[in-house]
């Protein structure tokens, strides 16, 4: 009896501790360098005062305002102290919370602000926000650049929302807000010398970005009945700069040059190669008035934004207008420039010289590498890691924003989500991202300043929708940017994340709720005895149950605990269960441990270099592609697809299947049809089946079409699949399934 009782007490204690642990400092995100939870709480009540060293008064005021307390000039009267500790690392802090008082120590203001936001985050995790659990924390960031980007051109968002975005950033220790203020669908900043930028180029004729594109992409003017858009006045922008700075955040404005500038050329067409509006997206570099126009604009930008870095865009500039422009060609010749990339680089170098003369630094998207980097430019690497590696090897600083940071991608099964630009980036994949490219040498790694989440808003017409795409994934980016690599751990992050839903709810954030959808991964078992099936859920500690015979899973079906192996064809049905019932839709997956796995493939036409996936191993590796063609399992074709599988010997063939993907947005289409041919000798092929489809190329959804056929009395060694590419875009396929 005695034994049982003490056991029960222990269990209860464990329960109490684990409940308590749910809201203590151990739940902080980003995870601090060191953190000890301690017993007791600090009570916030009106007689508590905040004291700070003189230069940090603004931080003290912010903290006092958030806690509804007052600032005291005397240290003695205060029980929350912001103190200087010169020995602490840059941007680092020590936070001590005891029942008697709170001290935040730091060697610089950034550190003091970080400590303050750790305190505010801890408070925001409490059921009773006047009781802060005691803790002792020492902390400093891994990276000096921790950014969130927001595109306000595709859709305009009000100052109140920008402040909310900054509030959330600060709570998660981001220190840079990259404000994408200009792009073809709308200019968003008051510029006195060129008033049409805000009066006209900030207002388009149609609200929805896609409707606008469909209707000729025209601009209207402020006040017109149909006008959709907006801009930030100088007063607005300065207020954002001030608001962010008080929260430890630098605002980097982006002014897109020389591409993505259709809106500017719509209202100031004299800076376009043809001199006509609505024709080009690129500034005419050969026009001697273009540079003064741009530096005039930048001068006004510099007067608003004190940030050392100024982002000049530089991405995705087309070269055709320059190729056909006498002025650009004359300049190219005069300056002995090899091609249009060098022409672009010529302009960017002049912009860098201008910014340098004003004490600022240029940052641009990785295309600024093409044609030669300006001497001191910093690169924002977005097209994978390649740009980062080149730049760092050349001694340039880099900010990492590759696909793993693109929060405009789908975060769950696209068929369950509002329309997005594409991709597939669940939070676990965001978290798995490591910002320092593995190939960099020790002395090159220091050039990786940090990482940033990007939010392009083509498909985010409302602030609610921006929040939905940003959260909770931005929280994973925050930890990637702050926390030391060795301290990162996904299960631990996921456990801590559970406490942060309260914070997001209290801040009225329309965050994406973890879905019951299960991602299924299939790969041959190590001994190739079958397919190993992995089921991935973003629900915390899910109860997953499954069947492999196509029957509906119930609460008594097999419980998923680790990957399992199935043979041949298996119709897998799985679901997360809660209180005995399935959550959401049942996930169905057809596993295929088929007979072509490991067989040789002969490529009669070759894949595109842009999407080589696993090259010649892709189509018979037994691994299926996911929801995105950039997962290195989808082989991309710009040509007709024509591939032969060599089964090794003549044998009966009962079934052949191949899947293609369609995603109209980025120009991915199905083939016209799929034809299957067979041969015993590899040279004489007999047509076996021609499989048509009726999927419209206009369908905007991401969709997958499996072309499958049963074959009777067919013997072959070689199976050839021909799929014509008739739409000129990409075709993607992942596996040739043969039984
Ligand atoms: C970009 O996504 N075009 C930088």
Per-residue pLDDT at 8: 40
How is domain 22-139 classified at the CATH fold level?
Chitobiase; domain 2 (3.30.379)
Give dist(CA 381, CA 366) in Å, integer.
5
Ligand 1 atom closest to Cα of 382? 4
Q: State in Å: Cα 315 to ligand 1 middle.
A: 6
- Ligand 1, atom 3: nearest CA belongs to which residue? 315
- Encode 374-396: b = buried (16+ Cβ within 10 Å), e = exposed: beebbbbbbeebebbbbbbeeeb
Mean pLDDT to the nearest integer, 353-361: 98
Give dist(CA 553, CA 556) in Å, integer.
8
Per-residue pLDDT at 209: 79
Give dist(CA 536, CA 678) in Å, integer.
38
Task: Compute how many other C-beta atoms are within 10 angstroms of the C-beta atom of residue 308.
Answer: 13
Alpha carbon 687 to chain centroid distance?
Answer: 45
Where residue 665 falls among pLDDT bands split at 50, 70, 90? confident
For ligand 1, mutation pick of 150, 456, 457 (most atoms within 8 Å of CB): 456
Q: State in Å: Cα 484 to ligand 1 middle.
A: 28
Q: How far apart are the first and last CA of the chain?
A: 63
The domain segmentation of the chain, as residue ranges, is 22-139, 519-592, 600-738
Per-residue pLDDT at 164: 98
Give the tens place of pLDDT for each residue, 592-651.
Answer: 999 999 999 999 999 999 999 999 999 999 999 999 999 999 999 999 999 999 999 999
- Ligand 1, atom 2: nearest CA belongs to which residue? 382
For ligand 1, mutation pick of 367, 382, 383, 453 (most atoms within 8 Å of CB): 382
Per-residue pLDDT at 437: 98
Per-residue pLDDT at 55: 86
| Whether residue 232 has its Cβ less than 6 Å from ligand 1 | no
Q: State in Å: Cα 549 to ligand 1 middle.
A: 45
pLDDT > 50? residue 20: no
Q: Which two tokens stand for residue 61?
A: 């005021």
Q: State in Å: Cα 207 to ligand 1 middle.
A: 22
Per-residue pLDDT at 10: 43
Q: Which two tokens stand for residue 605?
A: 């036409």
pLDDT > 70? residue 16: no
Q: Residue 281 in contact with residue 183, Cβ under 8 Å? A: no
Q: State in Å: Cα 352 to ligand 1 middle.
A: 20
Give dist(CA 194, CA 190) in Å, integer.
8
Give the predicted TM-score (pTM) of the model: 0.93
| Whether residue 342 has its Cβ less than 6 Å from ligand 1 | no
- Backbone φ and ψ for 398, nearest 5 degrees, come out as -140, 140
pLDDT > 90? residue 412: yes
Ligand 1 atom closest to Cα of 454? 2
Q: State in Å: Cα 497 to ligand 1 middle.
A: 29
Q: Over 365-427, what HEC string results? A: EHHHHCCCCCCCCEEEECCCCHHHHHHHHCCCCEEECCHHHECCEECCCHHHCCCCCEEECCH
| Whether residue 646 has its Cβ less than 6 Å from ligand 1 | no
Q: State in Å: Cα 382 to ligand 1 middle.
A: 7
| Whether residue 187 has its Cβ less than 6 Å from ligand 1 | no
Bond into 203 cis (ω within 30): no
Q: Residue 476 in contact with residue 427, Cβ under 8 Å? A: yes
User: Helices marked H in 247-309 — which ranges?
Assistant: 262-267, 290-304
| Whether residue 339 has its Cβ less than 6 Å from ligand 1 | no
Q: 600-738: which CATH number, 2.60.120.1190, 1.10.40.60, 2.30.110.10, 2.60.40.1730?
A: 2.60.120.1190
- List active site positions: 183, 260, 316
Q: Residue 184 in contact with residue 260, Cβ under 8 Å? A: yes
Give dist(CA 101, CA 18) in Å, integer.
25
| Whether residue 383 has its Cβ less than 6 Å from ligand 1 | no
For ligand 1, mutation pick of 183, 318, 365 (most atoms within 8 Å of CB): 365
- Backbone φ and ψ for 241, nearest 5 degrees, come out as -60, -45
Ligand 1 atom closest to Cα of 365? 4
Per-residue pLDDT at 13: 42
| Whether residue 406 has its Cβ less than 6 Å from ligand 1 | no
pLDDT > 60? residue 180: yes
Q: Over 553-601, what HEC string results? A: CCCCCEECCCCEEECCEEEEEEEEEECCEECCCCEEEEEECCCCCCCEE
């Amino acid at each position: 009896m005695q034994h049982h009782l003490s056991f029960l007490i222990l269990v209860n204690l464990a329960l109490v501790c684990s409940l308590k642990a749910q809201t203590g400092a151990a739940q902080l995100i980003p995870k601090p360098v060191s953190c000890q939870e301690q017993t007791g709480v600090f009570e916030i009540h009106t007689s508590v005062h905040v004291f700070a060293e003189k230069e940090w008064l603004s931080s003290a005021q912010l903290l006092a305002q958030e806690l509804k307390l007052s600032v005291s000039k005397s240290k003695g009267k205060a029980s929350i102290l912001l103190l200087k500790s010169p020995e602490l690392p840059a941007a680092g802090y020590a936070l001590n919370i005891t029942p008697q008082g709170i001290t935040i120590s730091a060697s610089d203001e950034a550190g003091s602000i970080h400590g303050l936001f750790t305190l505010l985050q801890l408070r925001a995790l409490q059921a009773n926000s006047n009781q802060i659990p005691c803790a002792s924390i020492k902390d400093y960031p891994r990276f000096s650049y921790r950014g969130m980007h927001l595109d306000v051109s595709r859709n305009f968002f009000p100052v109140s929302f920008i402040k909310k975005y900054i509030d959330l950033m600060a709570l998660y220790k981001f220190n840079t807000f990259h404000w994408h203020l200009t792009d073809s669908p709308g200019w968003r900043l008051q510029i006195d010398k060129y008033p049409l930028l805000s009066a006209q180029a900030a207002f388009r004729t149609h609200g929805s970005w896609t409707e606008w594109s469909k209707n000729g992409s025209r601009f209207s003017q402020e006040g017109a009945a149909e006008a959709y858009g907006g801009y930030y006045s100088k007063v607005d922008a300065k207020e954002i700069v001030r608001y962010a700075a008080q929260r430890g955040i630098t605002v980097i404005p982006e002014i897109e040059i020389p591409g993505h500038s259709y809106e500017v050329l719509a209202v100031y067409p004299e800076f376009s190669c043809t001199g006509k509006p609505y024709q080009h997206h690129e500034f005419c570099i050969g026009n001697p008035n273009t540079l003064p126009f741009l530096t005039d604009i930048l001068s006004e930008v510099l007067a608003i934004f004190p940030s050392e870095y100024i982002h000049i865009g530089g991405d995705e500039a087309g070269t055709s207008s320059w190729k056909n422009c006498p002025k650009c060609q004359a300049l190219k010749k005069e300056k002995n420039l090899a091609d249009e990339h060098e022409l672009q680089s010529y302009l960017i170098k002049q912009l860098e010289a201008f910014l340098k003369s004003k004490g600022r630094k240029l940052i641009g998207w990785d295309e600024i590498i093409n044609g030669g980097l300006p001497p001191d430019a910093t690169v924002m690497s977005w097209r994978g890691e390649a740009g980062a590696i080149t730049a760092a090897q050349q001694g340039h600083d880099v900010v990492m924003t590759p696909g793993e940071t693109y929060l405009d991608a789908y975060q769950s099964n696209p068929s369950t989500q509002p329309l997005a630009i594409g991709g597939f980036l669940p939070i676990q994949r965001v978290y798995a991202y490591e910002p320092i490219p593995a190939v960099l040498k020790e002395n090159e790694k220091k050039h990786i300043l940090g990482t940033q989440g990007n939010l392009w808003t083509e498909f985010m017409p409302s602030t609610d929708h921006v929040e939905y795409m940003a959260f909770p994934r931005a929280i994973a980016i925050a930890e990637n940017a702050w926390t030391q690599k060795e301290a990162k751990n996904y299960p631990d992050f996921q456990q801590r994340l559970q406490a942060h839903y309260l914070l997001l709810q209290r801040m009225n954030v329309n965050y994406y709720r973890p879905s019951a959808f299960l991602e299924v991964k299939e790969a041959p078992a190590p001994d190739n005895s079958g397919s190993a099936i992995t089921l991935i859920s973003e629900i915390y500690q899910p109860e997953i149950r499954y069947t492999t015979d196509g029957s509906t899973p119930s609460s008594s079906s097999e419980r998923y605990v680790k990957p399992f192996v199935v043979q041949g064809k298996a119709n897998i049905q799985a679901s997360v269960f809660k209180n005995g019932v399935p959550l959401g839709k049942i996930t169905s997956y057809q596993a295929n441990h088929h007979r072509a796995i490991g067989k040789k493939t002969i490529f009669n036409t070759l894949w595109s270099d842009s999407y080589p996936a696993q090259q010649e191993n892709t189509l018979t590796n037994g691994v299926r592609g996911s929801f995105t063609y950039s997962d290195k399992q989808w082989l991309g074709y710009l040509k007709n697809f024509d591939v032969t599988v060599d089964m090794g010997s003549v044998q009966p063939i009962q079934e052949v299947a191949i899947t293609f993907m369609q995603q109209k947005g980025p120009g991915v289409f199905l083939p016209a049809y799929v034809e299957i041919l067979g041969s015993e000798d590899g040279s004489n092929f007999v047509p076996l089946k021609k499989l048509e489809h009726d999927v419209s190329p206009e369908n905007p959804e991401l969709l997958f079409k499996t072309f499958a056929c049963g074959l009777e009395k067919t013997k072959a060694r070689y199976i050839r699949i021909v799929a014509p590419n008739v739409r000129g875009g990409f075709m993607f396929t992942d596996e040739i399934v043969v039984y």
